[in-house]
Every structure is written in C-alpha cells, then in structure tokens.
C-alpha cells in the first residue's frame, strides 16, 4: 500500500487528541470511588446476547480491560466491544470513543480517556480492520446485519455494555456519559443523538462524516471529472490552484495570514492560471476546467446540484490523487470501496470506466439505498434535547475529505427543525475552524479545550460562547491564538493589535 493512502487512512481514522496543555482531568464525581469487585469477576456479568471474552488487568496502565462480544440472533454477527476501567481514579463518567473510515473504533483509543479517569469504551462495530469488504457476505450479497452494526447498532451496543460493566465494577452507574469522535467518530456521535438519544449526555463531533450516503460517493467525483476529461492533473498543478485561490481570497477576511476564513465566499476561478508555468508544465484550459468542477462538486446530467465540492484552500490531491507516467487517477480507497462493495457489489469493479452519467446513477442509488441506515442526517434532535443532551460539532474549513459545507447544511436543517438558531444553540453548537484540514492541521489555528467545554456545558450548564484555537510551530511553541465562535458568528479583528493574539478578535455575524 502506498504511503499516501496510508496517510489518508490515518487521517480518516483520527482519534481526536487534545493538546496536553488543555488536558485537565475533570473532577471526580464520586471521590474515593473504588471497584466493588475484582476485574476478573466482570467475566461473570450476564447481559443479553453478550459474551464476556476476557476481563484482565492491563499491565501497562493497571486498568481493568474487558473484551465482550454481542450478537443479534438469528444472525451470527459478532460486535466486539472493548472497555477500559480505571482501578483507582474513576472520575464517575463513561466515555465512548469513535472510529474512522470503515473502522468502528479500537481498543487502543481507550488509553487516554482511562488515564483521565473515564470508564471508556470502543467497538469494532462488527468487523475487523478498515476495509469496506464487510458489506458483502461470502456469496457476494449485501450483509445487512453487518452494515447495520457498522452504521449505528455497534456503537449503541458498546454503550449499553460499557455502562453496565461500569455499574457492576464500581457499584454505581456513571453520573454522566460522553461520546467523542472525529470523522466516522463524529458521525457515530451524531447518530447516537439522532437514534439512541438516551445513551449520551454530551457529544463531541469533529469533522463528522454525516451525510455519508451523499458525501462519500461525492468523494469519487474528482476522479470521475478527470477520467471524463481524459486529463489527469498533476499534484503540482492542483497545489498551484489551491495556492492561487488562497492568495486571491486570503485578505477578504481582513487578515493576510494564509487562511481563507470563509471559503464559501471565495469564487476564485482557475482560468487566471491558464498559460502559466507550473514547473516545466503549462497550466491548460482543460486543467482549469477540472479544478473548477472539483470545487463546484458533483452535478447531475441536467446540471443540477448533487453535493458540495471541496472548499477553495483545501488540499485537492487527497481526492484528486494522480500518479505514474503517463498520469493516471489514484482514487482515495474509502469512496472507491463504497462503490465496489456497497453500490456495485463487485470487489473487482473498474472505476476508470465510470462516466458522469454512470456516477449520477450510482450516487442516486447510494442516497436511496443507504440514507436511512447510515446517512446520519436526521435533523430531529428533539429526544436528545429533551433529555438534556448537549452536542458540540466542529469542522475544519479546509477539510480535504469531507467538505464542511455538508456539516453547515446539516446544522442549518437542525436549526430549522428545532425552532430556530436560538433554541438550537441551547443544546447544539457548531464551530468552524478556518484553514484546518481533516486532521485539524494546516495554516489555520486548531481548536482546543473541546472536552472541557462539553463537560462544563453538560454538568454546569455553561454553554460554550467560544472555543480557543491555537497554532504551534514545529517546536510546540504557540505562535497564534484565535477565538472560534458558534456558527454563524465569525472572529473579526478589532483593527488594532497583533493578528496572532485572540484578545484582538471579536465576534461578528456576517451578512447573508
């Protein structure tokens, strides 16, 4: 597997970590709480359709680790669940951790939360590894139980088992429960709010892979555009187009800092590059057309909107990857596998034959066939709201895999459904982070303190009026701070003082 794909899979399988400086373990809710049984005793806990596979102390951190499997008769599925329970410093809370890409999650993600005193859980959501091949059974037919386990049921089962084991171990139920995840984990968090609203009190949803049935097939669009044009564009040219867009739109927000604060208002047209040199190569009309169509996003044969394109400023090569000589397309594996295993149901399907018309048919199939199962775009969060749930969503505006426009679209639909912006902001807030990508890296400052923010909101009723974002140099020194305000507010420079210091920014709501 080449390095680029590995890096991107790492990006889609990010486990959200927080800068160490901001990591203050939350206060213990039951001070002095200790286990009421041995770790090994948890093997005797009886739960419906659940087998406790092991319950042993982890020699590396001394925590109690339980592995369990849940099945759904009559199907022979097996959702594997990993639970970590601190022996000495349980803080009284349960925390579920999300996965990435097609991977539901991993036992390795529990280490951080357990160190902070959380009883923590993760799950493989019914299949091992990061491939989409679990969608098909041995006969090549859709394995619906496996698909449902991955889409939503696995996380719910993990939560039920995790809370039960926490209760059995400490003799009391967790006082609060949190779900934390990015990308697929962000989708899993919002799925919990939509479908199993009793599971969590607080949800942190980073760059969520919601609208899965629309955005994931749309992620193949850049390759379809290049194949149709018979013009696979080099990384240097794609990078040149991104750099030109940033140069053109950077200053529109008042600060020339290499970041387009609101790329949705940037209309830079790559025709300005035509005829110019990129290395030894000339940027052509055909190149400009490819880049324009990638930014525009997938359109139907009648020209109508299907889904959002990448924002200007986001790395294009992640989805419009090319390589070899002559150049050919190198699609990102996750959308490609969505077509192969879920839509066409043929692992050997050759994407290079896909025309824009064929793309539209399969995109529509994706919406029809999978929306209700894994779309995660239901704006009705009333059950979650009514039981006091709180959710913080945040998304980088230079996300190269999941355009933030889809998350804004969803949040606006939530606002509409839930009684308007003000009522929505009482339980669900969206923070957009300019200039950061799917892994929260890039020219822009990255959000910090999200976990503190959600805990404070849930437990003290203090809604986050802002998140602090910071940018560090390679030595770890903070070189820029910037506030992020809840959507639709943006951070605006006061007009005096350093543009690298958060205190010189105020919130402003832009005109529509």
Is residue 409 annotated as a catalytic residue, yes or no? no
Select the residue interacting with Ca ion from 241, 259, 362, 455 (CB under 5 A).
259
Name which position in 149, 157, 250, 311 contacts Ca ion (CB under 5 A): 250
Q: Which stretch binds Ca ion (CB under 5 A): 80-88, 119-127, 257-265, 317-325?
A: 257-265
Burial zone of 195 (CB within 10 Å; 0-12 exposed, 13-18 middle, 19+ buried): middle
Whether 380 is catalytic: no
Cα distances from 58 to residues 32, 62, 161, in angstroms, run: 21, 5, 19
Which CB, 104 or 445, lies closer to Ca ion? 445
Other beta carbons within 10 Å of 20: 7
Selected range binding Ca ion among 153-161, 240-248, 251-259, 281-289, rule: CB under 5 A: 251-259
Measured from the CB atom, the residue of 224 and 491 that comes closer to Ca ion is 491
Q: Which one, 466 or 480, has the nearer CB to Ca ion?
A: 480
d(CA 245, CA 320): 17
Catalytic residue (choose from 124, 199, 399, 437): 399
Smallest separation, CB 346 to Ca ion (Å): 46
> Mind giving me the DSSP string for 151-163?
IIIHHHHHHHHHH
Q: Which is nearer to Ca ion, 255 or 294 (CB)?
A: 255
Closest CB to Ca ion among 62 and 510? Answer: 510
Annotated active-site residue 438? The verdict is: yes
Query: C-beta of 430: minimal distance to Ca ion in Å?
Result: 20
Q: Whole-angstrom Cα distance, residue 314 to residue 402?
A: 10
> Minimum Å distance from CB 434 to Ca ion?
8
Greatest alpha-carbon span in the chain: 74
Whole-number Cα distances in Å, 395 to 121, 247, 432: 24, 22, 5
Tokens of 82: 């990993």
Q: Residue 93 in contact with residue 69, Cβ under 8 Å? A: no
Q: Counting contacts by CB under 5 A, is residue 311 touching Ca ion?
A: no
From the list 183, 205, 333, 366, the catalytic residue is 183
Distance CA 57, CA 62 (A): 6
Are 72 and 50 in contact, with CB atoms under 8 Å apart? no
Q: Is residue 219 part of the contact set for Ca ion (CB under 5 A)?
A: no
Using alpha carbons, list the distances in angstroms from residue 64 to 79, 98, 413.
20, 20, 42
Q: Does 255 bind Ca ion (CB under 5 A)?
A: yes
Counting contacts by CB under 5 A, is residue 253 touching Ca ion? yes
Residues taking part in catalysis: 183, 399, 438
**Binding interface with Ca ion (CB under 5 A):** 250, 253, 255, 257, 259
């Amino acid at each position: 597997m080449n390095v680029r794909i590995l890096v991107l899979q790492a990006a889609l399988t990010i486990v959200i970590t927080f800068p160490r400086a901001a990591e203050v373990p939350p206060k213990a809710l039951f001070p002095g709480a200790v286990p009421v049984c041995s770790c090994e005793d948890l093997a005797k806990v009886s739960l419906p359709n659940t087998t406790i596979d092991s319950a042993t102390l982890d020699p590396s951190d001394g925590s109690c680790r339980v592995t369990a499997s849940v099945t759904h008769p009559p199907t022979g599925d097996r959702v594997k669940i990993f639970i970590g329970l601190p022996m000495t410093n349980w803080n009284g809370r349960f925390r579920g951790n999300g996965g990435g890409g097609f991977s539901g999650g991993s036992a390795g993600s529990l280490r951080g939360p357990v160190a902070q005193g959380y009883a923590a859980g993760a799950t493989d959501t019914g299949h091992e590894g990061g491939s989409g091949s679990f969608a098909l059974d041995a006969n090549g037919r859709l394995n619906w139980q496996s698909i449902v386990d991955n889409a939503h049921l696995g996380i719910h089962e993990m939560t039920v088992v995790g809370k039960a084991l926490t209760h059995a171990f400490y003799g009391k139920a967790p006082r609060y429960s949190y779900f934390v995840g990015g990308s697929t984990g962000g989708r899993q968090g919002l799925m919990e709010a939509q479908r199993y609203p009793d599971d969590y009190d607080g949800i942190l949803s980073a760059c969520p892979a919601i609208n899965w049935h629309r955005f994931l097939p749309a992620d193949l669009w850049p390759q379809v555009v290049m194949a149709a044009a018979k013009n696979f564009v080099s990384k240097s040219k794609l990078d040149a187009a991104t750099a030109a867009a940033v140069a053109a739109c950077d200053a529109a927000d008042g600060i020339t800092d290499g970041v387009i604060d609101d790329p949705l208002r940037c209309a830079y047209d790559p025709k300005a590059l035509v005829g110019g040199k990129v290395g030894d190569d000339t940027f052509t009309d055909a190149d400009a057309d490819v880049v324009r169509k990638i930014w525009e996003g997938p359109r139907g044969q009648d020209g109508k909107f299907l889904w959002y394109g990448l924002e200007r400023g986001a790395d294009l090569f992640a989805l419009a990857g090319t390589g070899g000589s002559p150049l050919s397309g190198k699609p990102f594996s996750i959308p490609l596998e969505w077509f192969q295993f879920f839509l066409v149901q043929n692992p050997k399907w050759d994407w290079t034959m896909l025309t824009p018309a064929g793309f539209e048919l399969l995109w529509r199939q994706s919406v029809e066939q999978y929306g209700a199962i894994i779309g995660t775009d239901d704006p009705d969060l009333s059950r979650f709201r009514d039981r006091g749930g709180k959710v913080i969503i945040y998304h980088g505006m230079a996300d190269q895999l999941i355009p933030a426009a889809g998350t804004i679209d969803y949040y606006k639909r939530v606002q509409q459904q839930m009684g308007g912006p003000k009522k929505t902001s009482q339980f669900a807030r969206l923070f957009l982070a300019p200039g950061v990508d799917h892994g929260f890296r890039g020219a822009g400052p990255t959000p910090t303190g999200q976990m503190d923010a959600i805990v404070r909101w849930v437990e003290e009723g203090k809604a986050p009026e802002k998140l602090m974002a910071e940018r560090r140099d390679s030595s770890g020194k903070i070189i820029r701070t910037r506030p992020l305000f809840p959507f639709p507010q943006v951070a605006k420079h006061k007009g005096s003082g350093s543009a690298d210091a958060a205190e010189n920014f105020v919130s402003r709501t832009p005109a529509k």
